[in-house]
């Protein structure tokens, strides 16, 4: 009897948490069983075999595909001159496990996960792979429940602003970013000029400046002309964004 009461209290607590979560997210699921499934780990299902629980693995599979498509569409529209290779590299950085874990932690997904006792005791609630899977499963559940009309606004709040803010700039081509920004916000085209070459042939250093309509926006140095141009473009991006 005591165990039954504990289970009932646990169920009521989780029900309250899911209700509060939906209010916080501003999304009310039509089929709340999908929401619960998105947060149900296989270890929980294994410990409750007599009850109709289904784990989140299938939703994760679907959510992974939906996330790739929506991020691809956003990048395609946002960066019209970025090459296929650059788009692929950027998308990979956005949908990789560390990024998904960051998104999941920001939304406190960990506290909602339904885990088996063994998984709970070994710190499963904070395990990166598990959190990344839950984030994808949530997207899959949201897509099944309300379609892209709900998924895209969710990503516009959680994921897309980070891309626009430069959170993944470490994998981006700064020259392409600068060109995108200039095309979108300003007039003209950035031009690059080598100011100086220093050092012996086997260990040269190049100093480059980038300008727009005769105004110098940034300078950069590197071991190659391309590297120097990238650093100059990065400095220019910071300057033009601050001046807007």
64 assigned to active site: yes
Confidence at residue 123, expressed as pLDDT on a 0 to 100 scale: 81
Query: CATH number for the domain including 87?
Result: 1.10.1520.10
Question: Does residue 133 sit in the same domain as residue 180?
Answer: no
pTM here is 0.75
Question: Does residue 225 sit in the same domain as residue 108?
Answer: no
Active-site annotation holder among 64, 173, 209, 229: 64
Of 169, 194, 213, the position where a domain reaches its end is: 169
Active-site annotation holder among 136, 145, 209, 229: 136
Q: Of 103, 105, 113, 108, whose CA–CA distance to 156 is shortest? A: 103
For residues 83 and 195, give the distance between their C-alpha atoms in angstroms, rounded to a whole number: 28
Question: Does residue 152 sit in the same domain as residue 205?
Answer: no
Query: CATH number for the domain including 220?
Result: 3.30.160.20
Domain range enclosing 84: 2-169
Question: Does residue 145 sit in the same domain as residue 70?
Answer: yes
Question: Does residue 140 sit in the same domain as residue 185?
Answer: no
Helix (H, G, I), strand (E, B) or coil at 108: coil
133 assigned to active site: no
Of 141, 169, 197, the position where a domain reaches its end is: 169
Question: Does residue 186 sit in the same domain as residue 138?
Answer: no
Question: Does residue 139 sit in the same domain as residue 215?
Answer: no
Of 106, 136, 169, the position where a domain reaches its end is: 169
- Report the domain count for the chain: 2
Question: Does residue 164 sit in the same domain as residue 70?
Answer: yes
Confidence at residue 2, expressed as pLDDT on a 0 to 100 scale: 46
Question: pLDDT tens digits for the chain (244 residues)?
Answer: 345 676 677 778 888 999 999 999 999 999 999 999 999 999 988 887 766 679 999 999 999 999 999 999 999 998 877 789 889 999 999 999 999 999 999 999 999 999 988 888 888 788 999 999 999 999 999 999 999 999 999 999 999 999 887 788 778 788 888 888 888 888 888 999 999 999 888 888 999 999 999 999 999 998 888 888 988 998 898 888 887 6
Q: Of 17, 19, 20, whose CA–CA distance to 113 is shortest? A: 17
Question: Does residue 36 sit in the same domain as residue 72?
Answer: yes
Question: Does residue 161 sit in the same domain as residue 181?
Answer: no
Question: Does residue 196 sit in the same domain as residue 127?
Answer: no
Confidence at residue 51, expressed as pLDDT on a 0 to 100 scale: 66
Give the torsion sign (CA, 33, 38, 44, 50).
positive
């Amino acid at each position: 009897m005591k165990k039954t009461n504990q289970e009932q209290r646990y169920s009521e607590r989780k029900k309250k948490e899911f209700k509060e979560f939906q209010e916080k997210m501003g999304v009310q699921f039509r089929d709340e069983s999908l929401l619960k499934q998105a947060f149900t780990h296989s270890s929980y299902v294994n410990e409750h075999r007599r009850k109709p629980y289904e784990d989140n693995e299938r939703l994760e599979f679907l959510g992974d595909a939906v996330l790739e498509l929506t991020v691809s569409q956003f990048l395609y529209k946002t960066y019209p001159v970025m090459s296929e290779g650059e788009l692929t590299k950027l998308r990979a950085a956005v949908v990789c496990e560390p990024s998904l874990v960051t998104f999941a932690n920001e939304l406190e997904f960990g506290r909602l996960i339904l885990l088996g006792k063994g998984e709970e005791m070994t710190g499963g609630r904070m395990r990166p792979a598990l959190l990344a899977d839950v984030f994808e499963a949530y997207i899959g559940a949201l897509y099944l429940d309300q379609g892209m009309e709900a998924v895209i606004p969710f990503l516009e709040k959680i994921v897309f602003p980070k891309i626009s803010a430069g959170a993944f700039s470490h994998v981006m081509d700064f020259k392409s970013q600068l060109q995108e920004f200039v095309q979108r916000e300003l007039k003209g085209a950035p031009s690059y000029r080598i100011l100086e070459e220093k050092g012996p042939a086997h260990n040269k250093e190049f100093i480059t400046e980038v300008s727009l309509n005769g105004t110098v926006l940034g300078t950069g140095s590197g071991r190659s002309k391309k590297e120097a141009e990238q650093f100059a473009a990065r400095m220019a991006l910071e300057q033009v964004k601050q001046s807007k």
